[in-house]
């Protein structure tokens, strides 16, 4: 029996993939068991449950499971890093069931310093899905902590974390700007993006209070404040990335992530006169398979083998 | 009996001043009764308590007491606005004790739009304390919502609100950057300021995650994260204000506010090679007296009158 069990194990969720011998996903499961909210019995119990009934295959995990507060700390790998180096740097732990779990290291950009855990696997998967982007590109991975990662010759050469998602959440929940029920106001979103885009070198942090002042002024409905704020913060990502040279108008930009959030990023890009192609999906799963092959944990079946 | 009762009535506190006929503060009282946390009996009870035993003098109040959620909404006055226009635009309400309370309007900068309530009175007081700054200057009023206000020919001609204090509080209490007990680390504060200063046109919002990454990297002690974050956010105020032309190296900058917070701003300014003089204190009280005189509510006793 050939194949792989891949685990995308983050702060708030656990996704498990059973790959067949050709790298196709035969089955996927999800549990709300991030490393901060494990079931009784901890990591071992979570692993046993999420893989119940699956054959004994090599197991490879990525994400916060390898962080200091995770199951087993795996040191960050310094940039530049490509799939080969990542595959060589896997760590290993012995689970209670007597079998190993291999762990993908996170990446560290010494120039920040900045760090990522889990996104390195998504990037490996994204490059497997779009080999043409390996030469020179910039990947955008939106989320609680968005990552903008530069790739040159197949290796990640630099990245930056932007706390857009978390900032939106804490402002919406705990600040004077929050508390309004979102109305899904596309126009308010675009207005927030434009405010960030046009804020010049001062930047959108200096325009944050506009979400309140516009509302007091009667120029923004309370229910439109959340979308305005979302546009302002995502717009600031693009403004800062362009100012910093992270995003360059002459290098392809590629989104990686779920549709709903990526749609906001595509809309924002359009307001910056940047055309973004549709996002790549299931990049973590593709990356787990690719890194497992790279490390020799998984052996892809050739067409001949499968024909047997 | 001549004199004035001045009330600086904000979101979280109430300060009352009894002025003698020459504008000196004869007595000052403070209560934790901001407009969001009034005692039983509401505004009238708070007023009766904080002025208990004081003579029946004209009463002038500034701050959030005149906001939509306050005692009586006073429309904002559009810029440019000097003490004369403010004095002419006072509103009036009849309290339960049968006597009036006059209210100072807030200011609105139509170019933001941006708004302030309470700071207009501090600015009037600051200009009374430093008449030489009336020609051309920029005042910095640090706080939950910091204000940078430009003054030309005695009038406020533009201002901007920066949510520095609130942002620090919500990040410290509710984000992944928070939860560490501050160690009063001056060096970490200076490092945060330098990170913001050197962030170029990208700005410090794009460097926010550095507070986490430096800690994970072992380059910043957990207890030093709060001071680093404070430096990053205050440094960003200066970077953005300089980028925006709000602060100009050829116009005097003047701090207004309490010593501890203003000391952080002076330190920050020094790291931007800007020398800031000590902050002006009790500006709200001075402003209340000045605006009351301007409006004819208070009549300053001349030296001759006092000699009688």
Count CA atoms within 13 Å of residue B51 on its CB side: 27
Nearest CA distance, A131 vs chain B (angstrom): 29
Contacts of A147 in chain B (CB under 8 A): none
Whether B217 and A176 lie within 8 Å, measured CB to CB? no
Contacts of B175 in chain A (CB under 8 A): 163, 166-167, 170
* pLDDT confidence of residue A247: 79
Pick the more confident residue, A52 or B304: A52
Chain B residues closer than 8 Å to A175 by CB: 163, 166-167, 170
- The answer for A 193-212 residues in CB contact with B (under 8 A) is 200-206, 208-210
| Per-residue pLDDT tens over the stretch A155-182 | 999 999 999 999 999 999 999 999 888 8
Q: Is B62 helix (H, G, I), strand (E, B) or coil?
A: strand
Q: Which candidate from A108, A175, A210 shows the least CB-CB separation from B112? A: A210
Average pLDDT, rounded, for chain A: 95
Predicted TM-score (pTM) of the model is 0.94
Cα B90 to Cα B247: distance, rounded to the nearest angstrom: 30
User: Tokens 């709903």, residue?
Assistant: A260
Over residues A236-266, the pLDDT tens digits come to 999 999 999 887 767 899 999 989 999 999 9
Strands of the sheet with B14-19, listed across from one edge: B25-31, B14-19, B4-9, B59-62, B100-103, B91-94
Inspect the interface and report whether the beta carbons of B113 and A160 lie closer than 8 Å: no
Q: All domains of chain B, ordered by start, with CATH?
A: 4-130+283-307 (3.30.420.300), 161-271 (3.30.420.310)
Q: How far apart are the first and last CA of chain B?
A: 13
**pLDDT band at residue B307, thresholds of 50, 70 and 90?**
very low
Residues B137 and A205: their CA atoms lie apart, in Å, by: 23
Inter-chain touch B163–A219, beta carbons under 8 Å = no
Asked whether the beta carbons of A150 and A138 are under 8 A apart, the reply is: yes
Provide the 8-state DSSP code for A95: -
Residue B286 sits at the vertex; the CA angle it makes with B303 and B63, to the nearest 5 degrees, is 145
Residue tagged 């001759």 (tokens): B304
Q: How confident is the model at residue B242 (pLDDT cuts 50, 70, 90)?
A: very high
Residue A283, C-beta contacts closer than 8 angstroms, at least 6 positions apart? A121, A122, A123, A125, A126, A129, A256, A257
Task: Give the one of B115, B208, B244 whose C-beta lies nearest to A213's C-beta.
Answer: B115
A214 in contact with chain B, both atoms CB, cutoff 8 A: yes
Residue B244 in contact with partner chain A when CB distance is under 8 A: yes
SS3 A291: helix
Mean residue pLDDT of chain B comes to 95
Cα end-to-end span (Å), chain A? 13
If one counts every other C-beta atom within 10 angstroms of the C-beta of residue B249, the result is 9
Q: Which residue is closest to B176 within chain A, CA to CA?
A: A166
Handedness of CA B279, B280, B285, B290 (dihedral sign): negative
Task: With a cut of 80, say whether residue B240 has pLDDT above it.
Answer: yes
Q: What is the pLDDT of residue B239?
A: 97
CB B191 within 8 A of CB B185: no
Task: Collect all residues with Cβ–Cβ distance below 8 Å to A168 and sequence separation of at least 6.
Answer: A229, A230, A233
Strand, helix or coil at B137? Answer: strand
Per-residue pLDDT reduced to its tens digit, B139-182: 999 999 999 999 999 999 999 999 999 999 999 999 999 988 88
The predicted model gives B85-90 an average pLDDT of: 97
Which helix (H) or strand (E) segment holds residue A91: the answer is strand A91-94
């Amino acid at each position: 029996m050939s194949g792989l069990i891949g685990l995308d194990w983050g702060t708030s969720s656990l996704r498990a993939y059973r790959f067949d011998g050709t790298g196709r996903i035969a089955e996927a499961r999800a549990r709300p068991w991030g490393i901060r909210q494990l079931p009784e019995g901890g990591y071992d119990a979570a692993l046993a449950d999420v893989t119940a009934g699956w054959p004994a295959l090599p197991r490879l995990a990525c994400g916060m499971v390898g962080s200091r507060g995770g199951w087993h700390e795996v040191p960050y790998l310094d940039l530049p890093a490509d799939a080969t180096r990542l595959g060589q740097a896997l760590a290993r732990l012995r689970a209670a069931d007597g079998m190993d779990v291999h762990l993908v290291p996170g990446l560290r950009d010494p120039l920040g310093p900045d760090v990522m855990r889990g996104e390195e696997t998504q990037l490996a998967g994204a490059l497997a899905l779009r080999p043409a982007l390996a030469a020179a590109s910039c990947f955008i991975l939106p989320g609680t902590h968005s990552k903008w990662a530069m790739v040159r010759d197949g290796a990640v050469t630099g990245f930056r974390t932007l706390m857009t998602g978390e900032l939106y959440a804490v402002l919406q929940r705990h600040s004077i700007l929050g508390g309004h029920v979102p109305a899904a106001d596309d126009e308010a979103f675009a207005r927030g993006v434009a405010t960030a885009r046009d804020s010049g070198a001062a930047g959108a942090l200096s325009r944050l209070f506009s979400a309140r002042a516009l509302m007091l002024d009667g120029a923004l409905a309370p229910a439109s404040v959340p979308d305005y704020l979302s546009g302002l913060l995502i717009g600031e990502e693009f403004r800062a990335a362009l100012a910093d040279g992270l995003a360059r108008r002459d290098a392809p930009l590629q989104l990686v992530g779920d549709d709903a959030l990526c749609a906001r990023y595509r809309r924002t890009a359009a307001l910056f006169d940047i055309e973004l192609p549709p996002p790549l999906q299931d990049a973590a799963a593709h990356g787990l398979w690719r890194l497992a092959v790279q490390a020799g944990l998984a052996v892809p079946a050739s067409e001949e083998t499968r024909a047997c």
